[in-house]
Structures are given as C-alpha cells and as structure tokens.
Structure 1
Amino acid sequence: MKTFKCVLIDKNKKKVTRIIEAENEQSLLLKIKQMEYYLVSKDEVVKETKAIKKMKPKDLIIFCRQISVMLESGITIIKAIHILETKSTNPKTKVVYERIYESMQKGNSLSTAMKAQEVFPNILINMIEAGETGGIVEKNLAKMGEHFEKENKLNNKIKSAMMYPMILSVVAIVVVIFLVTLVLPTFFELYEGQDLPVITQILVSFSNILTKYWMIVLGGVAIIGMCIPIICKLKPVRFAIDSFKLNGPVVGKLNRTIYSARCA
C-alpha cells in the first residue's frame, strides 16, 4: 500500500490537500473519482523504515519454506521473492525483500542479492549459492528451513533452561545491594571505633562506597557496559572468547555438538 499527498479541487472549485492510501496510481485515481474530487497534483510519500541488523529465526524459517514451496510449484525465483514481499506484514522485513527483488531485476542472482543486504546468515547464502550452481535451490532451501527450525527449538530450550538461574541471580544481586546499603550500615555504627576483622572492614568500605558514591558507581557500571561490546570485537579478545566457547566446561561440549551438527 502506497501513500500519496494529493492536491485536489472540490465541487466548489476550492483547493484541498488530502493524504490518500492506494495500491497504485490507478487505484488512487479511482478513489479520487469516487470522492468526487478533481486531481491537480500528487506526490508519493516515502515512509522511511529502519533496516534490520539481522533476520530473526522465525523470518528465516518462513523465507526458506515459502520460497522452496513456490519454486517446487513452478514459480520463478524472482516472482517468488515478489510474492513474499507483497505478503510480508513486517515493515522492516518487507524492505529487505523489496531490495532483494530490485537487485534481482537488475540481473543479480538470489545469493548475490541476499549477500548485499548483510542480514542473512552466511550458511544460508552459501547453501543458496551452491544450489544455484547445482540447480537445486528449492531442495537446499527446504533443508535450511528444517535446519533453522531445529536451531530455533534448541535456542528456545536453552533460553528456558537459563531463565530460572538468571532470575535467581538478579534477585540475589538486588538483595545483596539492599543489605549492604540499608541494613548493614545500622549495625556498623554500633561497632564504630573498634578493631574489626579484615573481611568486615572490607564489607564496611564496600558499603560506604555504595552509599556515598552511588552515582559514580552507577556511571562506572554504565561505562563498562558500553565498553564491553567494543572490547569483545577486538581480535585477541574474540579469539579468547571463541576458544572458551569450544573448550570451556559444560559450554564447550554443548557448542562443539551444535557446530558439528551444523557442519554435517
């Protein structure tokens, strides 16, 4: 559906401006005629939609399965993309499909058009490229649809398993901060001036820092939170993280299984 800003003339020969939505120019003219106006000028209003950084697993499953079914039905690849674009309800995903369709109209292959968007995983692009070479794009897309569906189910299971520990961790942190900042300072006043154990002195110092300099602490946490993603992109740090993913306790075995399944 397109949006047009129209300058019209009514029955009293007065100019009016209206915003009218229509599928195309012919539909627009028909609507204006039904409204009993005369068209003077029109301008299409282009709505800017922010591009997505990454396709969601659900969208990838829909993309692979629907394109595969349409290709097996005898529909051409470029028409299949156009159908997917017109039927998409997500504005951000619709923009991606529009760009792929426009790129393919210029003569580019599906894999080349998808690679230019930088939102699809490399494994999908490479499988489509291999399918284009061997003439089995629809089969590879069907396999990738199953792959993403299994991967999505696995990710949902991992998220469900991690939900309880994460909630407990958040509650524990909140309780500790509450005790250190509100409860313990009342007890520290009773023992002021006395010789306290080292661990107790550390706890007193930590409590004083949180209560007196909480704004600095909060700012420091925010700065660290912003710096962590930047630091993680550095090559040595990235290498260390990936090594831990493959060789770390519990996590390493799980990741090796997942990557082996992908490779197979």
Structure 2
Amino acid sequence: METYLYKAKDVLKNKVVRGEIETESEEQVKRFLADKYLYPLSIRKKTALNSDVGDIAFFQKPIKMADITFFCKQFAAMVQAGISVGRSLEICAEQASHKTLKKHIMNLHEEVNRGKTLSEAAADEKIFPDLLVSMIECGEASGNLDVVLNQVVDHFDIQLGTTRKLKKALTYPALVLVVVGIVVFVMMVKVIPNFVAMFQDADIELPLPTQIVIALSNFFAANWLGIIIFTALLAVLGFNIKKIPGGRKTVDQLSLKLPLFGPLNKKTMSALFAKTLSMLVASGLPMLQAMEIIKKVLNNAIAEDELDDAIELLKHGNTLHEALRGSQIYPPIMYSMISIGEETGALDEMLVKIGNYFNDEVQTTIDSLMVLIEPILTIFIAFIVGGIMLAVILPTFTAAAAMM
C-alpha cells in the first residue's frame, strides 16, 4: 500500500480540493476521485520531500482534551439537528482549525462512508478516549447517539473545568518557586562572594548563619555548571518518570499521600469514578465492561490495581459496594451510597449524586488551596530570602559591637 497526494477539482461544488489516500496504485486513486465527482489535476506518491511539515510528529501540535470536546459539541449539535453522521463529520472537518485533528475527522468521514460504524472508525483513529468510543457504541446500539454525545460533552466539560481550575491554582506557586530559585542561585554565585571578601578584610568572627551561607555560596560558585546540569536532568526525569518501570506507580502512590494534594486527588478520582460509571451504566453498558473503561479514564496505577481486584470480585458474584470496600482512594461514604443505590435499583441515579457530591468537594478544596497557597508562599520566600539577607547583615552588627 502506498500513500498518494492528490489535487482535484470538485465538479459539483466548482472548487479545488487537496488530500491524501492510502491505496495500491494511481489507478485506484483515480477511481476513488471519480466516485466522488472529483476531476484529478495532479496525483503523486507521498515522500519525505513533498510531505507537509505538519505531518512530521515532532512538528505536530498535540491534540488536547479541549479540542476533542469542542469537536464533540459541534458533532452532537449537528446530529441532534437531524444531519446525517457522514455529513456532520464532513462539516466538522471543514471547520476544524487544528490540522492534526482535522485529518483524523476526515479519516472518520471516509471510513464511515465506506460502511464502518462511527464507533469502529473512532477506535481505529487511536486519538479518541475509550470512554467516548464506548459511549458512541452504546448510542449507535440504542439509536440515541445525539443524547449520548451530549452526555459525554457535559462530562468532558466538568473534567476540563476542574483541570483548568487546578492548573490555575498551581501555576502561580510554580512560577514563584522558579523565580525564587533563580534569584537565590544568582545571589549565591554572584552577590554573596563580594560580601565574603569584605568580611575577610574586616577580620571579625562571623556568626553561624553567615558561615553557613558562605559555605553554601562557595559550593555554588565552585559547582554552578554542575548544579545547572543536575537541575536540568532532574527536570527531564520529573517529566518522564512515569515512563520508567515502576516510576508511574511510585508517583501515583505519592500523589495520594501528599499533604493537601493527596485528599484532593482522592476526591477528584472519586468524582470521576462515580460520574463516569453512572453514565456508562445508564447507557446500558455491562458493569464489567464499564469498570474496564474507568480504569483507563482514572489514569492512576493504584486505582487500576484496585479496580482489577474489584472486577475479579464482581466476577465472583460480589456487589459493587462489596468489591470497592477497603479501597485507599474511595471513602466509606461512597460504599454506603452505592449500597443504597444497589438495594433500591437506582444505582445510576445514586452514582450521579455521589459524583455531584465529590465534585462539589473538589471545587471547595481547590478554593481552599488557592486561599492557603499565597500566605504559605509568602512565609517560604521570607524564610529563604530573609534568612540569606539576615546572614549577610549580622556581621555588620558584630563589627559595630567590636568597635564600640
């Protein structure tokens, strides 16, 4: 199979279109164009020289969850308006501003036109979340694709809102810590050595804090290049630690035990678990299949292990609340509410209530964090920078006392 680039004139719409197709020969490309009432202007094999730079993975703009959510909103609105799936995908592809996502939507359109179901085509593209693919499959089976898509959009919107709020809360302290680190580094390498020379000329006994700062300054000045390289390597390791065997589990375990952020992560996963499961159960998906999807949605190694254990218990006839009992992530109140939902036969409704409860808890916790972060940062900066300045000033008082 070869990939061919084509330029053709759309006879019906009287416009020039460009695209690419994977097929066995140039003749098949011509037949493909003829079927679509396209008159070929040029056809050539795709090579590294004539490929778009955007096709190279390094230059591709990553597809974010916000991009997929926006596409789902557009697509759901058109399907709900009675437009066919094929035509809706074509319109979404024309309006998409993200080049990579546009190509994937065009692929969806072509595969659906060839007879594949939308869920099968979406699964083949590998960019859409498993949750979205499964919900589309349920919508196709029940004939309520527009309703299911709107449910998914609402679910993604809540997720995005929480993620953005959390990022906003963490961006400020992260920037402040980086700036403070740079300032302290410069002071240690460039500023403190000037004071050291002055103290040596004064021939006075230096206080302990000053001696500590001078020792640190000497170390920084002698090893500044190594410190920069080590910090850079540490940053690279931090961004890629989940790719190291065992690293993902360690980080995920730590994320559940951190002060302030540990409880927040648990509440976030509890809300996501309940909201996702309620949507999947309400759409008619079997419980075991729904739990498999949630494993990927939560994206946490500890949660995955716990859900694997829960799935095994479900297979042996246990109820959901029994299967989840003893989790280090989900609190006892969740088991109690799930138990009530199972007894009353309204599990999906109870899961919605659980999801709303924990989502409110997450929002409250984030608001509390945003209030706490600023004074904590102020105290930290005062301790670090103020401590260095005090250590520099103390010898001045010692010298003044010696002269009196």
TM-score (norm 1): 0.73
Aligned match for 1:249, one of 249, 256, 259: 259
Counterpart in 1 of 2:344? none
Deviation at 1:195, TM superposition (A): 8.3
State yes or no: 1:124 paired with 2:112.
no
Q: Which 5+ residue runs of structure 2 have no aligned equivalent?
A: 17-40, 45-49, 276-404
Amino acid of the residue matched to residue 216 of structure 1? G
Counterpart in 2 of 1:187? 195
Counterpart in 2 of 1:166? 174
Q: CA RMSD in A?
A: 3.2
Q: 1-side partners of 2:168 and 2:266: how far apart? A: 21
State yes or no: 1:222 paired with 2:232.
yes
Query: CA 1:76–1:150 in 2, change beyond 3 Å: closer, same or farther?
Result: same
Report the number of matched residues.
Answer: 234
Deviation at 1:145, TM superposition (A): 1.0
Amino acid of the residue matched to residue 77 of structure 2? V
In the TM superposition, what are the counterparts of 1:41-80 in structure 2 within 5 Å?
42=42, 47-50=52-55, 55-80=63-88
Counterpart in 2 of 1:207? 217
Counterpart in 1 of 2:272? 262
Moved more, 53-62 or 159-168: 53-62
Q: 2-side partners of 1:206 and 1:3: how far apart? A: 65
1:176-228 Cα shifts (integer Å, max 9, x gaps) = 11221122112223455998788756544442343343333322322333333
Query: CA 1:194–1:106 in 2, change beyond 3 Å: closer, same or farther?
Result: farther
CA contact (8 A) 1:115 1:125 kept: yes
Deviation at 1:241, TM superposition (A): 1.7
1:13-43 Cα shifts (integer Å, max 9, x gaps) = xxxxxxxxx8647535xxxxxxxxxxxx745
Counterpart in 2 of 1:14? none
Deviation at 1:94, TM superposition (A): 0.9
Once the two structures are aligned, what percentage of the paired residues are identical? 26
CA contact (8 A) 1:246 1:256 kept: yes
State yes or no: 1:81 paired with 2:89.
yes
CA contact (8 A) 1:65 1:145 kept: yes
Q: 2-side partners of 1:199 and 1:47: how far apart? A: 60
Deviation at 1:248, TM superposition (A): 3.1
SS in 1 for 2:69: helix
State yes or no: 1:152 paired with 2:157.
no
Q: 1-side partners of 2:221 and 2:98: how far apart? A: 47
Moved more, 183-192 or 170-179: 183-192
Aligned match for 1:94, one of 94, 102, 116: 102
Counterpart in 1 of 2:15? 27
- The structure carrying a bigger helix percent of its residues is 2
Q: 2-side partners of 1:128 and 1:227: how far apart? A: 38
Q: Which 5+ residue runs of structure 1 have no aligned equivalent?
A: 5-21, 29-40
